[in-house]
Amino acid sequence: MNSLIPAAWAQAGGASTSSQFAPVLMMVVFVGIFYFLLIRPQQKKAKDHQNMVAKLSAGDEVVTSGGILGRIIEVSDAFITLEVADSVRLKIQKGQITSLMPKGTLKSA
């Protein structure tokens, strides 16, 4: 009878070692899910926006984050001059440009 007790303890000890890695494995899975569903798309969107802002030039038609549609007149390092109507010009930070519009959009608006 004494020989069965050490065997039972040995079996119980072996099962608990695999359950020690389960929480670590779940954390790795959650970090992977967050990276691919949240972090990676946000980084890609920010990179695309930086590339778009870097390529802005005079004559481009753009929309600002405030919804103002205009044509770029002048581009400097940090600011652009945007013409929103005849003789109405606004100086705006480059980072506030949200999208580049097709040529001719300003005439139809």
Residue 62 near residue 109 (C-beta atoms within 8 A): no
61: domain range?
Answer: 57-109
Residues 70 and 85 in one domain: yes
Residues 28 and 75 in one domain: no
Residues 31 and 81 in one domain: no
Average pLDDT, integer, range 69-89: 94
Q: What is the CATH number of the domain that holds 95?
A: 2.30.30.60
Whole-model pTM?
Answer: 0.69
User: What integer pLDDT is reported at residue 9 of this predicted model?
Assistant: 56
Q: What are phi and psi of 17, to 5 degrees?
A: -70, -35
Residues 86 and 49 in one domain: no
Count structural domains, the chain: 2
In this prediction, residue 107 has a pLDDT band, given cuts at 50, 70 and 90, of confident
82 pLDDT exceeds 60? Answer: yes
72 pLDDT exceeds 70? Answer: yes
Residues 95 and 76 in one domain: yes
Least confident of 15-19, 42-46, 50-54, 57-61: 15-19
CA 84 – CA 95 distance, rounded (Å): 18
